[in-house]
Amino acid sequence: MAFFTGAVLILLIMNILYSVDLNPLLVLALGFFMSFFVLDLIYEKIVPGKLVASIRNKDIRLFKGQENVLEIEIRNEGWMPILNAAFRLTAGDDIQFEKDISLKTRYQTETIASFTVMPKSSTILKVPFKARKRGVSKIIRTDIEVPRIFGFGSLFLVQSGRSSHEIMVYPEQLHTPPFDMRNKMIQGLFIQRKAMFNDPMLTVGTRDYHQRDSMRDVHWKASAKTGELKTRIYEKTTHLSWMIAINLRSEKNYAPPANIEAVIENITYLTSRAAELQIPYSVFTNLSSFDSNTFLSRVEGSGGLHYKSTLEVLARINTLSFTLSFDRLLKHLYLHEALPSHLLFTGRTDPAIEELLMSFQAKGVEIFQVEESGVQPYNAYRRSGSRVPI
Amino acid sequence: MNIENHLEDFKNEIRKVIVGQDEVLDLIFISILKKGHILFESVPGTGKTTLSKALARTIGGSFNRIQFTPDLLPTDITGLNMYNPKTHDFELQIGPIDTNVLLADEINRATPRTQSALLEVMEERQITIDGKRIEIADPFIVLATQNPIESTQGTFSLPEAQMDRFLMRIDLGYPSRREELDMMALHSDASAPKAVQPVFSEALLAKLQIRVANITVDPSVREYMLDIIEKTRHHEHVDVGVSPRGTLALMHAAQGVAMIRGRDYVTPDDIKYIAPYVLPHRLVLSLEGLTLSDQNTVLKAILDDVEVPVEYGVSPDAL
């Protein structure tokens, strides 16, 4: 194109300065090329500023192995058509695009989709993908290659700034045998039929007064109505809460344990069971966090929404990130968090960790070790050879 | 006076205290026409309580407000038989429920047992205290507010049965930049704010209700509504779909939309417009559904999936 433009300009200059007579057909051709050159300049000026690409499905959440479709809306707000353009999308390799073209770069998946969009209209690109492994896949880069309509070659538009869009891949659930969880003989708020304690704030009914019943439990209104003493029946409650501590360090080095993914999948299963049974639980990891909490964690809660946020925490565990020692995490939990009824921890133990586990056990906390095969009761005293507390 | 004038009067009164929210006011108007209960759900500071109070005044009649707190008891809402030592007898004391408009502020801060005190009155407009049935004034409208972001801190989710009784759940959201500028201008005025005047009399409400009920719903449109409802009951991410009460709510709300759009018949477009306000809060998602999606996304997928009835010879793509 530049060659023809140069030729046109030279011929024009010769025509003006030296009065060179030009063949009319040549003049027509020159005019043709000139107009194309001008249109190409306009096209180059207009297209980039008037093309808006946005991802329609903002929050994509899926489990490992599931498939989904990324919908990208491309809006052409200008008055020039965009024909047979190519949209190149690069994302983290926690997902894999159906038509993955990445060859050289590790930890990335890449795909190209072509599109045509007319002036003042929009089109939607559908990019199918599959969740490959647990993690958070971010959109790393987007490029658009727009062929020049009035010239040769293409315009290359590159994404400026970072994309905040992310696709979250939850871990799978590794089903393991149920574990025997003894009830704590502590007053609490967890409603359980077999519990030993009553919650005096939750009256569920009345019964006839028995001689040994406390006068405090008499339901005076019901007694007045029926003409005989009635005793309140309270909801049975106990203290039940799980604290899950995930160790992301191996026994002797900073690398994550070899079975960490299986352990995380087991914890996914355990937390889903806790969510179904409405058992409150918290999750802590020894992964350093830069927000208000020292460790990447999820504070205590229960139910479906809590499970969802737990899955997000589990998906965000990056085993290549900076970890702190597990005994430091346990010490933090012992000193700063409310003691749970059950502590579930992962990974190997060493004397420092065992000492802290003994501290938990001394306070009446039931301790369990989570491995890929299941959940086993853990007696820190027996392991360390210390005297079992009475 | 036609419906557009009533709607404009209503909006003008609300605009004395609330700026913008035009679409929300349309929805509220539809809800009032059907004497439906409304749940306002949005982040703090978006004007839920202010709007509810203004709304209550436009309806006229009596107005009561209950600030829901964790220590509120069911009898604090419905009332109870109190023992009178002088007469040696129980005296019935009806609670703040006996009103035309009840503002249940921060409803999710009370325990589910207390929230359940509203179940009977919201559906049947009556309460039962110790076996005695008490009729509540007509109209009876509950305007409830709740804040969704503190869902795990000292709050209790509303029971499904109660959610089902709300005709609409409306998210106020943030105002636009223009609206927020207008709001700043309104609040920089030193003069006392104008008082909101009643717009709906009991007679007017009754008249408008008859007009709404006369809006035609074609059998094909009814089938379309049922297709949507049935899809909610069989969706992979839904444990409990929309109830028959929800079906009626959708039909009534769609009639309201047709009415304010100046038509005497309901179109599928009316249903598509109103469904995201009437149906999502009635869906109980499964644990997997909750983790992968949310109520609005599930409903959107269903609306996209269900085939829209069209006139013979008209392509669905042309709509």
Say how many residues make up chain A: 390
- Is B105 inside a domain boundary? yes
- Is B84 inside a domain boundary? no
**Closest CA of chain B from A35, distance in Å:** 38
Supply the pLDDT for residue B243. 94
Candidates A61, A276, A301; nearest CB to B291: A61
Which residues of chain B have a CB within 8 Å of the CB of A225? Answer: 130
Q: How far apart are CA A241 and CA B224, in angstroms?
A: 47
Which residues of chain B have a CB within 8 Å of the CB of A63? Answer: 292
Which residues of chain A have a CB within 8 Å of the CB of B291? Answer: 61, 170, 304, 307-308, 311
Which residues of chain A have a CB within 8 Å of the CB of B130? Answer: 225
Question: Percentages helix, strand, coil for chain A, rounded to the nearest 5?
Answer: 30, 35, 35
Q: How far apart are CA B281 and CA B295, in angstroms?
A: 7
Candidates B152, B157, B287; nearest CB to A275: B287
Which residues of chain A have a CB within 8 Å of the CB of B287? Answer: 272, 275-276, 304, 307
Q: Residue B230: give its domain's CATH number.
A: 1.10.8.80
Structure confidence by residue, pLDDT tens digits, B135-193 = 988 888 898 988 876 555 677 888 888 899 999 999 888 888 888 888 888 778 766 66
Q: B220 at the A interface (CB within 8 A)? A: no
Q: How far apart are CA A345 and CA A286, in angstroms?
A: 11
Instruction: For chain A, 390 residues long, give each residue's pLDDT as a single digit of tens.
Output: 566 667 667 766 777 776 666 677 777 777 787 888 888 888 888 888 888 888 888 788 999 889 999 999 999 888 888 888 999 999 998 999 998 887 767 788 999 999 999 989 999 999 999 999 999 998 888 899 988 888 788 888 888 777 888 999 999 988 888 777 666 666 666 666 666 677 777 777 888 999 888 888 898 888 887 888 999 888 777 778 889 999 998 876 778 888 889 999 999 999 998 898 888 899 999 888 777 677 888 888 888 889 999 999 999 998 888 888 899 999 999 998 888 888 999 988 888 899 999 999 888 888 999 988 888 888 777 666 655 443
Which residues of chain A have a CB within 8 Å of the CB of B293? Answer: 61
Question: Given B213, B237, B272, which residue is the final one in a domain?
Answer: B213
**Closest CA of chain A from B126, distance in Å:** 23
Given a contact cutoff of 8 angstroms between Cβ atoms, the answer to whether B226 and B238 are in contact is no
Identify residues of A whose CB sits under 8 angstroms from chain B CBs. Answer: 61-63, 170, 221, 224-225, 272, 275-276, 301, 303-308, 311
Candidates A170, A224, A225; nearest CB to B291: A170
Strand partners, B265: B216
CB proximity list for A153: less than 8 A, separation 6 or greater: A1, A147
Q: Which of A194-203, B39-48, B222-231: highest mean pLDDT?
A: B222-231
Alpha helices for chain A (secondary structure H): 2-17, 24-50, 220-226, 260-276, 304-316, 326-336, 351-362, 380-384
Choose among B109, B75, B112, B115: nearest CA to B95: B75
Range with the poorest average pLDDT among A157-166, B94-103, B113-122: A157-166
Supply the pLDDT for residue B165. 93
Which residues of chain B have a CB within 8 Å of the CB of A221? Answer: 81, 83
pLDDT over threshold 60, residue B319: no
Tally of domains within chain B: 2
How many interchain CB pairs under 8 A, A with B? 30
Structure confidence by residue, pLDDT tens digits, A319-362 = 888 888 899 999 999 998 888 888 999 988 888 899 999 999 88
Which residues of chain B have a CB within 8 Å of the CB of A301? Answer: 152
Candidates B83, B90, B287; nearest CB to A304: B287
Beta strands A230-238; A190-191: pairing state = antiparallel
Do B113 and B4 fall into the same domain?
yes
Q: How far apart are CA B180 and CA B45, in angstroms?
A: 12
Q: B295 at the A interface (CB within 8 A)? A: no
Residue B183: domain span: 1-73+99-213
The average pLDDT across B19-34 equals 87
**Closest CA of chain A from B29, distance in Å:** 31
pLDDT over threshold 90, residue B275: yes
Beta strands A166-170; A60-63: pairing state = parallel
Supply the pLDDT for residue A5. 65
Which residues of chain A have a CB within 8 Å of the CB of B285? Answer: 304
- Is B90 inside a domain boundary? no
Element (H or E) spanning B244, and its range? helix B244-260
Candidates A63, A221, A308; nearest CB to B290: A308
Choose among A321, A183, A169, A313: nearest CA to A245: A313
**Closest CA of chain B from A390, distance in Å:** 37
Do B22 and B150 fall into the same domain?
yes
Do B198 and B281 fall into the same domain?
no
- Is B92 inside a domain boundary? no
Q: What is the mean pLDDT of chain B?
A: 87
At B138, list the tokens: 């007509």
- Is B266 inside a domain boundary? yes
Q: Tell if the CB–CB gap between B157 and A303 is shorter than 8 Å.
A: yes
Do B110 and B175 fall into the same domain?
yes
**Closest CA of chain B from A309, distance in Å:** 8
Q: Residue B146: give its domain's CATH number.
A: 3.40.50.300
Candidates B83, B151, B291; nearest CB to A311: B291
**Closest CA of chain B from A354, distance in Å:** 33
Which residues of chain A have a CB within 8 Å of the CB of B81? Answer: 221
Do B118 and B159 fall into the same domain?
yes
Do B153 and B255 fall into the same domain?
no
- Is B85 inside a domain boundary? no
pLDDT over threshold 50, residue B100: yes
**b (16+ CB within 10 A) / e for B84-100:** eeeeeeeeeeebbbbbb
**Closest CA of chain A from B73, distance in Å:** 11
The average pLDDT across B248-277 equals 94
* Residue in chain B nearest A63 by alpha carbon: B292
Report helix, strand or coil for A172. Answer: coil
Question: Given B195, B213, B231, which residue is the final one in a domain?
Answer: B213
Supply the pLDDT for residue A357. 92
* Residue in chain B nearest A171 by alpha carbon: B291
R_g (Cα) of chain A, nearest Å: 34
Confidence band for B305, pLDDT divided at 50, 70 and 90 = very high
**Closest CA of chain B from A319, distance in Å:** 23
The average pLDDT across B277-294 equals 92
Question: Given B172, B193, B213, which residue is the final one in a domain?
Answer: B213
Which residues of chain B have a CB within 8 Å of the CB of A306? Answer: 152
Which residues of chain A have a CB within 8 Å of the CB of B157? Answer: 303
Mutate to test the interface with A, among B291, B293, B300, B304 (most CBs of A within 10 A): B291
Supply the pLDDT for residue B137. 84
Mutate to test the interface with B, among A278, A308, A312 (most CBs of B within 10 A): A308
- Is B80 inside a domain boundary? no
Q: How far apart are CA B163 and CA B141, in angstroms?
A: 14
Supply the pLDDT for residue A281. 92
Q: B152 at the A interface (CB within 8 A)? A: yes
Do B53 and B137 fall into the same domain?
yes
Given a contact cutoff of 8 angstroms between Cβ atoms, the answer to whether A149 and A293 are in contact is no
Do B130 and B159 fall into the same domain?
yes
Candidates A62, A305, A307; nearest CB to B151: A305
Do B196 and B223 fall into the same domain?
no
Say how many residues make up chain B: 319
Given a contact cutoff of 8 angstroms between Cβ atoms, the answer to whether B140 and B102 are in contact is yes
**Closest CA of chain A from B83, distance in Å:** 9
Q: Tell if the CB–CB gap between B292 and A63 is shorter than 8 Å.
A: yes
Supply the pLDDT for residue B1. 64
Mutate to test the interface with A, among B132, B288, B292, B300 (most CBs of A within 10 A): B292
Do B230 and B289 fall into the same domain?
yes
At A259, list the tokens: 């079975």
- Is B86 inside a domain boundary? no
**DSSP state letters, B276-305:** HHHSGGG-EE-HHHHHH--HHHHHHHHHHH
Choose among B238, B217, B231: nearest CA to B295: B238
Q: Tell if the CB–CB gap between B130 and A225 is shorter than 8 Å.
A: yes
Do B151 and B2 fall into the same domain?
yes
Do B3 and B17 fall into the same domain?
yes
Given a contact cutoff of 8 angstroms between Cβ atoms, the answer to whether B114 and B77 are in contact is yes
Mutate to test the interface with B, among A305, A311, A313, A314 (most CBs of B within 10 A): A305
At A117, list the tokens: 């969009």
Q: How far apart are CA A327 and CA A75, in angstroms?
A: 54
**Closest CA of chain B from A191, distance in Å:** 14
Taken in order of first residue, the domains within chain A and their CATH numbers are 51-170 (2.60.40.10), 191-237 (no CATH), 242-384 (3.40.50.410)
Structure confidence by residue, pLDDT tens digits, B187-219 = 787 666 678 888 888 788 888 888 888 999 999
Choose among B283, B249, B255: nearest CA to B37: B249
